[in-house]
């Protein structure tokens, strides 16, 4: 029988738990404190830790119950140990340790970004590397060559802001709530791509990206138009920004796949929940004769199913963590890629 794995995620503002049997997702539960955090315009670390403490028992109970899984039959507990907010991570990590200890099963510490990259395996039970992967989250933007389930080559990455970070900063200037991505996407649907956007920074050649120039341009445009009392459309600005920010991701991902000669493209991270990105990436891959496998939208933003999926990969490799495993606030992408 394939392994039964419980995944736990608490790195930011989502308390999440999920159960998988092999690559089959049995349950995927989330209790979010995003609405509470939105009142403060971002995530307040202490509030996040307290919200996780309130929610962790309930969310794990729900995940086991909706999976119809007997706790005593779990083969391992996988949990995010980093990167993220330390206090928030410690809630999930300590809960997972308690479970692993009392059930006498392995603890598997998961790198959150490896979780995002593993989410695609839940979409297709037969998916196997090599492929080229677009990583676009709140903290990272990169194109990776996924050689095996555990080996990645970074083809290029952002020189400054991550794509999600640019969405969040632009949203703030447009008066939209945190996190900005979904709100910009909704506003962009009402607008047109008519505001000229700058070309990406010269230094951002190859598979690199740069979002700071684009972000500053959009912020300056909004301020200047408001100061002049000119009439302008927030929706048009949102739409033009969204296209500029995402078209470059699509172009470089497809170029990477063609250069590496692998027939498949995958993606992961919160920005991949964006409908425009999903449509344009799918269309560009189809034109280039590439197959594309994207995680379901709800498994692009933070969730525990992806942590369980990466847990399965580590379980099969026999990589277990000691009960002394500690939380880690930041993990460089180079370490994520070469562990």
Q: Select the residue interacting with ligand KG4 from 161, 247, 302, 310 (CB under 6 A).
A: 302
- Per partner kind, with CB cut-offs from 5 to 8 A, the member of ligand KG4, Zn ion, none near residue 82 is none
Contact 213, 170 (CB under 8 A): no
Ramachandran quadrant class, 318 (left: phi over 0; alpha: psi -120 to 50; beta: rest) = left
- Which CB atom, from 77 or from 162, has the smaller least distance to ligand KG4? 162
Contact 255, 265 (CB under 8 A): no
Query: How near is the Cβ of 240 to ligand KG4 at its closest, in Å?
Result: 15
* 96-125 binders of ligand KG4 (CB under 6 A): 112, 116
Query: How near is the Cβ of 239 to Zn ion at its closest, in Å?
Result: 25
Q: How far apart are CA 256 and CA 270, in angstroms?
A: 21
Q: Which residue's Cβ lies closest to Zn ion?
A: 302
Instruction: Please state the φ and ψ torsions of residue 152, each to the nearest 5 degrees.
Output: -130, 145
* 146-165 binders of ligand KG4 (CB under 6 A): 164-165
**DSSP assignment of 160-183, as one string?**
S--HHHHHHHHHHHTTPPSSHHHH
Q: Select the residue interacting with ligand KG4 from 106, 129, 157, 180 (CB under 6 A).
A: 180
Contact 136, 214 (CB under 8 A): no
Q: How far apart are CA 314 and CA 232, in angstroms?
A: 51
Q: Select the residue interacting with Zn ion from 14, 29, 149, 302 (CB under 5 A).
A: 302
Query: How near is the Cβ of 323 to ligand KG4 at its closest, in Å?
Result: 26
Nearest residue to 7 via CA among 74, 66, 61, 77: 77
Burial environment of residue 82 by CB neighbours within 10 A (0 to 12, 13 to 18, 19 or more): buried
- Per partner kind, with CB cut-offs from 5 to 8 A, the member of Zn ion, ligand KG4, none near residue 92 is none
- Per partner kind, with CB cut-offs from 5 to 8 A, the member of ligand KG4, Zn ion, none near residue 274 is ligand KG4
Is residue 165 within the footprint of Zn ion (CB under 5 A)?
no
Query: How near is the Cβ of 277 to ligand KG4 at its closest, in Å?
Result: 7
* 46-65 binders of ligand KG4 (CB under 6 A): none
Q: Please tell me the number of Cα atoms within 13 Å of 27 on its side-chain side.
A: 23
* 306-325 binders of ligand KG4 (CB under 6 A): none
Rounded to an integer, what is the distance from CA 121 to the centroid of its chain?
Answer: 14
* 190-229 binders of ligand KG4 (CB under 6 A): none
Pairing type for strands 264-268 and 291-293 reads: parallel
Interface map 132-151 toward Zn ion (x if CB under 5 A): -----x--------------
Query: How near is the Cβ of 326 to ligand KG4 at its closest, in Å?
Result: 20
- Kindly give the interhelix angle for 180-188 and 275-287, rounded to the nearest 10 degrees: 70
- Per partner kind, with CB cut-offs from 5 to 8 A, the member of ligand KG4, Zn ion, none near residue 273 is ligand KG4
Q: How far apart are the first and last CA of the chain?
A: 28
Task: Enumerate binding residues for Zn ion (CB under 5 A).
Answer: 137, 302
Task: Enumerate binding residues for ligand KG4 (CB under 6 A).
Answer: 112, 116, 137-139, 164-165, 167-168, 179-182, 185, 269-271, 273-274, 301-302
């Amino acid at each position: 029988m394939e392994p039964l794995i419980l995944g736990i995620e608490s790195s930011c503002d989502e308390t999440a738990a999920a159960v998988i049997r092999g690559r089959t997702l049995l349950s995927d539960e989330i209790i979010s404190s995003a609405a509470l955090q939105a009142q403060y315009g971002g995530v307040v670390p202490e509030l996040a830790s307290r919200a996780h403490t309130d929610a962790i028992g309930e969310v794990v109970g729900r995940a086991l119950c909706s999976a119809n899984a007997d706790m005593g039959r779990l083969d391992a507990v996988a949990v995010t140990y980093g990167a993220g907010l330390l206090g928030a991570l410690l809630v999930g990590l300590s809960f997972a340790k308690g479970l692993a200890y009392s059930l006498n099963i392995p603890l598997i510490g998961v790198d959150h970004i490896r979780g995002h990259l593993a989410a695609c395996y839940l979409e297709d039970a037969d998916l196997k590397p090599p492929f080229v992967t677009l990583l676009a989250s709140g903290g990272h933007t990169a194109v990776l060559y996924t050689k095996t389930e555990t080996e990645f080559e970074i083809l290029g990455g952002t020189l400054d802001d991550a794509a999600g970070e640019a969405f969040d900063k632009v949203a703030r200037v447009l008066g939209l709530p945190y996190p900005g991505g979904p709100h910009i996407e909704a506003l962009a649907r009402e607008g047109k791509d008519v505001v000229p956007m700058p070309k990406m920074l010269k230094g951002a050649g190859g598979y690199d990206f740069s979002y700071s120039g684009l972000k500053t341009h959009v912020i300056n445009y909004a301020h200047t138009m408001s100061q002049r009392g000119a009439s302008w459309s927030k929706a048009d600005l949102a739409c033009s920004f969204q296209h500029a920010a995402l078209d470059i991701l699509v172009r470089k991902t497809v170029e990477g796949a063609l250069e590496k000669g692998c027939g498949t493209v995958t993606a992961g991270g919160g920005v991949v929940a964006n409908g425009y990105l999903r449509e344009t990436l799918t269309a560009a891959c189809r034109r280039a004769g590439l197959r594309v496998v994207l995680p379901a939208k709800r498994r692009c933003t933070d969730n525990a199913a992806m942590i369980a999926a990466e847990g399965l990969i580590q379980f099969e490799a026999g990589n277990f963590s000691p009960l002394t495993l500690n939380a880690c606030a930041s993990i460089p992408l180079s370490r994520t890629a070469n562990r």
